[in-house]
Structure 1
Amino acid sequence: MFKDWPDLKRNDQFGFWKHEWNHHGTCSPWYNNPKMYFQKTLSLKRHFNIFNVLKDKGISPSRNFILKDRFISAISTFPGSTILICQKRRNENNVFEDYISEIRICLNMNLHPTVCIKKQMWEQFQI
């Protein structure tokens, strides 16, 4: 889990996994089996392999600016719909910049790609 599903934002692994279980796992088909939930999510991560898709398009996690259209083009091959979660941060010149903090591939309860449900609290780009 440390290697395959790290917390890249806050560096709080156990808090992050606890959040993932409480927010997502408890409404999954494995709501009474955390081990199965995390095994399945890691299996889905390998199946969709989003990091390799981005890497093949020359995109890797970094502080470098990436054009939104380039990023969207890279992930447009994913089935169903994909949501990019964007946030703002201050750069070294104390100016706010947008950055992509999450990529979500939406699945239904049978783990088939589906249309994502938008939440108003996030600025999102749905593909």
Structure 2
Amino acid sequence: MGYGRKISLALGHNSLTSLRGQLEIDWPNLNDQSLNGQFWEAQWNKHGTCSLNNFKQLQYFSLAIGIKNKLDILRMLENAGIRPNATVTYNYIDIVRAIKAEIGPFEPELYCGMPHNNVVLLLEVRVCRDAMGATYISCVNNNNSCQGYLINIPE
């Protein structure tokens, strides 16, 4: 969605530095936290630039952290009897229904690791908001790598 327009994050040179500690807690690169800066820059270039007319970088990242902290995905899943467990698996549609029970009829995106014996590991849940960050919308990519598999949710 960044339309090819890349803008760098100046974490050491502007007010975004004030959010670095919070970003490290709430939005780390789970693959390699030493690459957090590159990860956040990629998130900004892919998603944040879509709302550039509405938000500066600091506002975008503050809004993202606020939304993340209000949206308790694990609680949503637990309310539906879906709990992280190394040996229990769940159906894709049951996980989606649990999320939709909270956010409404909007389609989330689920991303899973490679299947092994028809079971995949849930890696990421995405819910989408409008460009102002005000309301949920269906995620448009609908690139759900979990569909059709039994899903394990890591502890």
Count of residues in correspondence between the two structures? 119
TM-score (norm 2): 0.60
Contact 1:82 / 1:106 at 8 angstroms: preserved in 2? yes
CA distance in 2, matches of 1:64, 1:31: 44
Other-structure match for 2:151: none
CA distance in 2, matches of 1:105, 1:37: 16
Q: What is the percent sequence identity of the aligned residues?
A: 22
Gaps of 5+ in 1: none
Other-structure match for 1:54: 77
Aligned-residue offset at 1:63: 5.3
Higher Cα radius of gyration: 2
Higher relative helix content: 2
Other-structure match for 2:57: 34
Match of 2:100 among 76, 83, 93: 76
CA distance in 1, matches of 2:30, 2:120: 17
Go from structure 1 to structure 2 and tell me whether the alpha carbon gap of 1:75 and 1:119 turns closer, same or farther (over 3 Å shift).
closer
Moved over 6 A (4+): none
Other-structure match for 1:106: 128
Contact 2:129 / 2:136 at 8 angstroms: preserved in 1? yes
CA RMSD in angstroms comes to 2.9
CA distance in 2, matches of 1:41, 1:17: 11
Amino acid at match of 1:71: I
Aligned-residue offset at 1:82: 1.0
Gaps of 5+ in 2: 1-22, 148-155
